[in-house]
Each structure stands twice: as C-alpha cells, then as structure tokens.
Amino acid sequence: MPILGLDTDNDTVFMNESIQGWCAIHHITFTRSRPYHKNDQAWVEQKNGSVVRKLVGYRRYEGLEALQILEKLYTASRLFVNLLQPSFKLISKERRGAKVIKHYDKPVTPCQRLLADARVSNAIKTQLSTLQASLDPIDLLARMRHCQQQLLDLSQEDQVEGVIQPDARLGDFLASLKDAWQFGTVKEATRPLRTWRTRADPFAATAREVTALFENAMGRTSRDLFEMLCAEHPGLYLPGQLRTFERQRKRWRAAKADALILGASAVAAE
C-alpha cells in the first residue's frame, strides 16, 4: 500500500532535511506535532502502550546484539498482531453531559479490515490471505517468547558494583510488563501491587455459576450475564454490584489471556 502521509514528533531527530526531502520526492504529506503536545500523536502513542511496552517493557537496551534480538521479536510480533490478533476500532463518541460513550465495531484483525476494504486490490488480498493461512500462532508466540528471554538475559548482564545480577524467570518478567507503566521501568518497581481483597467477595457463594457464565456466554455483555445471575438468585444481588461483577469478569479474562500467552505452567507457578 502506498504511503500517503508521515506524522512525526516535533523533534530534530525526526524533523530533519533528509526526511523532508525524501517525503517531497515521493509526494508524501509530512506533518509534525505541536511542541509539548504529545497527544497530537495519540494513535502512535496508543500502540506504544498496547504493543511495544507489553512486549519489551521499559528497560533500556543498547548495542548491536539487542538490536538484532528486537528485530527478530518485531518480525514475529508484526505478523501476530496484524494478521492474528483481533482488536477493537473506535467508530464514534457520544457525549451525554460529563459522560462520554464510545461505540466500537466488532473485534477483528487488521488484516481482516484490509480484506474487507474495497480500495485494496485483489492481488494484495490474495497475498494477505495466503500469508495469514500459512501462519502458526503457537510458533509465533514461541518465537516471541524466545526473543523476550534473550532480552531478559541480556539486561541481566549489567553489572552492579562488580556483581552480575541473578537471572529472573521469564514468566515473572512477562507478567510484570502489564503493570510496568505504573512504575516507569520494570527494574524500578518499588511498591508491590495490592493483590489481596479489602472486602469479602460477594460472588463467592455462586463462584461456580459465575465461572460457567463467563465460559459459556463470552459473547454476551457483563450486564446481560449479571441480570441472568440475579434472575437465578432473586434478592441475593443488588443492581449496584454490576461494577463488581464486571471487575470479576475482567480478572477472569486476564487469567485466560495469561494462560494463553505465558502458558498454563507459568501462570500456575505464580
């Protein structure tokens, strides 16, 4: 697909004569963000958080060896994210007073969105379909996990007062990436996240039924599942407990995702 435009940060590293000249030769619209307004690059920054940081965290990697490992990691993750990983896309926003309601389309992969676009030629669609059919998601995840282990081993070679830091488990490193943004870097995490409950679980008495609802009705909304649970147990739950039910479902989904990405053995070890 041809490049129509290029948007960069307002920095001399990106804003230079070489890039401007290249864009002018190839008739590419070149724009930059305003000074001190990083939200101008909202779409780019969003992918930095949802893709880049979740893959490599906030550690600093230097040198040719780290570059080669990152190239292998991004080669595998590019195929996995763009051709195999479904994602939501924002369609519209609706403001009701102080509340903003966002409407999303059905989650599909970026590749599926291209295949459904009439502007994409049939030759490109055939090429994408062939590539997508040839991919093995388990193999891609294994390659990504191997590269992450190499990055972890490389970062652990940093010496502190002449003593080499001990290696950490890959499962711990991958699990820490989800919360690394709260601390700025994985190494600088000083305050552990609270993992205990401060109140009794209101759904403990119906835990098996709740889990069965999550398993068997994944396409339904949390409100629908909560209403089904209330209908089966009249008077046991109040409408105000819907938010607690949604958080319960969110934790269940996170556990399922960890089991898929990290493997069942790594999640069980935690």
Flag whether 2 is in a domain: no
Q: What is the mean pLDDT of residues 37-47?
A: 73
Flag whether 259 is in a domain: yes
pTM of the model: 0.54
Flag whether 247 is in a domain: yes
Tell me: the pLDDT tens digits for 118-128? 989 999 999 99
248: burial class by Cβ within 10 Å (0-12, 13-18, 19+)?
A: buried
**Confidence at residue 89, expressed as pLDDT on a 0 to 100 scale:** 86
**Confidence at residue 185, expressed as pLDDT on a 0 to 100 scale:** 43
Flag whether 159 is in a domain: no
**Confidence at residue 82, expressed as pLDDT on a 0 to 100 scale:** 93
Confidence of residue 262 (pLDDT cuts 50, 70, 90): low
Flag whether 129 is in a domain: no
**Confidence at residue 261, expressed as pLDDT on a 0 to 100 scale:** 66
Flag whether 123 is in a domain: no
**Confidence at residue 192, expressed as pLDDT on a 0 to 100 scale:** 62
**DSSP H helix total and E strand total for the chain:** 12, 6
Residues 6+ apart with CB under 8 A from 46: none
**Residue whose tokens read 């339904």:** 220
Kindly report which listed range (24-28, 186-190, 231-235) carries the lowest average pLDDT score: 186-190
Label the pairing between strands 5-8 and 99-104: unpaired
- What rounded mean pLDDT belongs to the chain? 80
Q: How far apart are CA 240 and CA 194, in angstroms?
A: 24
Q: What is the mean pLDDT of residues 235-253?
A: 89
Q: How many domains does the chain contain in total? A: 1
**Confidence at residue 126, expressed as pLDDT on a 0 to 100 scale:** 95
Flag whether 263 is in a domain: yes
Bridge partners, 7 (sequence order): 31
Flag whether 239 is in a domain: yes
**Confidence at residue 187, expressed as pLDDT on a 0 to 100 scale:** 45
Tell me: the pLDDT tens digits for 68-92? 999 999 999 999 999 999 988 888 9
Long-range Cβ contacts of 200-208 (<8 Å, 24+ apart) = 202/237, 202/241, 202/244, 203/244, 203/245, 203/248, 205/236, 206/233, 206/236
Confidence of residue 167 (pLDDT cuts 50, 70, 90): very low
For residue 263, the enclosing domain spans 207-269
Q: What is the mean pLDDT of residues 220-238?
A: 90
In 3-state terms, what secondary structure has residue 100? Answer: strand
Kindly report which listed range (47-61, 178-192, 241-255) carries the lowest average pLDDT score: 178-192
